[in-house]
Structure 1
Amino acid sequence: MLVFVTVGSTRFDALVEAAISEPVLSTLRDTGYDHLVLQRGNSTIESEEFKGESCTMRRHGVEIEIWRFKSSIQAECEQADLVISHAGSGTILDVLRLGKPLIVVPNPTLLDNHQEELASALQILGHLKATSIQDLASTIASFEPHNLVPFPPFDGIKFSKLVDEEMGFV
């Protein structure tokens, strides 16, 4: 089974390092995941195994593929059995619209902590699980994807009505 971890275009070293740490990899392996694809964005990796823009390695029973950027992460999201992501709104919406199980880790170093607010709101609605770097391994271990509430499909009529109301056309 495949888990895809993404930090988007940002730098989120803590999530990248956590994703390839022994506690997280062992938990992934123990819950049935044997392949991890990690999109690291501008993050750095403090590992002698990692050299250059991309690499593959095996750690703690998990095959790992690491790269910085691709023109799209759509294919990785579609193939993943689980997505672990920073709490960027674009990534969250893309993953939820695909109906994929999602664990988000808000980046606490961002200025206004908007990721925490979004993650919390969507967790309350039951669409995803939010966690911290420190709790990532235990969140993976206890995660029950079948308990998630499906995200509603986009409804363009509602959106256009909202814009019309906001602009005073209605």
Structure 2
Amino acid sequence: MLAFITVGSTRFDGLIQSVFSTPVLTNFSNKGYTNIVVQCGNSEFPHVHLLAQGEQSFQLEKDGLLIECWKFKPSLQEDYERADLIISHAGSGTIVDVLRMDKPLIVVPNPTLLDNHQEELASALEELGHLRSSTISQLANTIQEFNPSSLTKFPPFDGSRFRNLLDEEMGFI
């Protein structure tokens, strides 16, 4: 099984460092994961020395897991499709992309941001049952306790809802 971790275009050192920690890697292994793919963006992380001059990715084996780490790609679509679990910063674009693919998702809001929009979005979608929200310090526990079958399927996109809302607001309905 494969877990994909992404910070999108942001820098989120805490999440990336947590993913490389022994408790998190042990819980991945205990849940049956064998491969971890980490999109780290510009985050600082352990093993950065493995990125040779000009290289964008590396692989290593740690705690019985094969870990691939890279900074950026033009698209994350292929990684989303291959993943059995996705762990992400709580960016709205990433969340919507993953939920529309019906993939199990754990989000970790970035506490270093100036406002708490990621926390608000994560909490609201967790209350609806679409994803699990975690903190950096609780990530190992969240992985251990996470049951993807308990999630509620995200509704498909319905473009008419916005049109109807706009028509109603404008007095056409």
TM-based fold match above 0.5: yes
1:118 corresponds to which of 117, 121, 135: 121
Partner of 2:157: 154
Stretches of structure 2 lacking an aligned partner (at least 5 in a row) = none
CA contact (8 A) 2:20 2:46 kept: no
CA distance in 1, matches of 2:18, 2:166: 41
Q: Which amino acid aligns with 1:13?
A: D
Partner of 1:128: 131
Q: Which amino acid aligns with 2:61?
A: R
Give matches, 1:14-163, under 5 Å.
14-47=14-47, 50-52=50-52, 53-163=56-166
What is the CA RMSD across the aligned residues, in angstroms? 1.2
Q: Which amino acid aligns with 2:152?
A: V
Q: Which amino acid aligns with 1:58?
A: E
So what's the TM-score if we normalise by structure 1?
0.95
CA contact (8 A) 2:10 2:41 kept: yes
More off after superposition, 116-125 vs 49-58: 49-58
CA contact (8 A) 1:97 1:151 kept: yes
Partner of 2:3: 3
Q: Which amino acid aligns with 2:132?
A: K
**In the TM superposition, what is the alpha-carbon distance from 1:48 to its structure 2 partner?**
5.8
Q: Which amino acid aligns with 1:159?
A: F
Stretches of structure 1 lacking an aligned partner (at least 5 in a row) = none
Number of residue pairs the alignment of both structures matches = 169
Query: How many percent identity over aligned positions?
Result: 56
CA distance in 2, matches of 1:19, 1:62: 12
CA contact (8 A) 2:40 2:69 kept: yes
In 2 relative to 1, CA 113–50 (structure 1 residues): closer, same or farther, beyond 3 Å?
Answer: farther
Q: Which amino acid aligns with 1:116?
A: E
CA contact (8 A) 1:49 1:57 kept: no
**In the TM superposition, what is the alpha-carbon distance from 1:54 to its structure 2 partner?**
1.0
**In the TM superposition, what is the alpha-carbon distance from 1:45 to its structure 2 partner?**
1.6
